[in-house]
Amino acid sequence: MLFMLDEVMTPREACDRWGITQDALRMKLKRGKDNKLVDELIKDGKIKYYKPEGKQRGEWILTIEAMNILLPKK
């Protein structure tokens, strides 16, 4: 699956585009991880999480498709 660059974004950009707070997105990702939705999106190549070895925090890369699944615009 290929995405154009304007379809791939950081969590901060996703929050700006969807008009939500970063805390709201973090909470949605955590809940999605708990119910395996995030794992499925990672498997489908719609979200990527990278955590360098030895670090406590990782980084998310999100696609528009993933955001539409996680937080559909009304």
Confidence band of 55 (pLDDT split at 50, 70, 90): very high
Residue 37 main-chain phi, psi, to 5 deg: -65, -45
How many structural domains are present in the chain?
1
Do the domain assignments include residue 61?
yes
Q: What is the pLDDT of residues 17-28, one digit of tens each?
A: 999 999 999 999
Do the domain assignments include residue 65?
yes
Do the domain assignments include residue 54?
yes
Residue 53 in 3-state DSSP? coil
Q: Is the pLDDT of residue 43 over 70?
A: yes
- Structural domain for 18, as ranges: 5-69
Closest CA to 60 of 74, 73, 41: 41
- Alpha-carbon distance of 2 to 51, in angstroms, equals 23
Q: Is the pLDDT of residue 74 over 70?
A: no
Do the domain assignments include residue 74?
no
Any idea what the CATH number is for the domain that residue 46 is in? 1.10.10
Q: To the nearest whole percent, how much of the chain has pLDDT over 90?
A: 78
Average pLDDT on 40-61 reads 94
Residue 11 in 3-state DSSP? helix
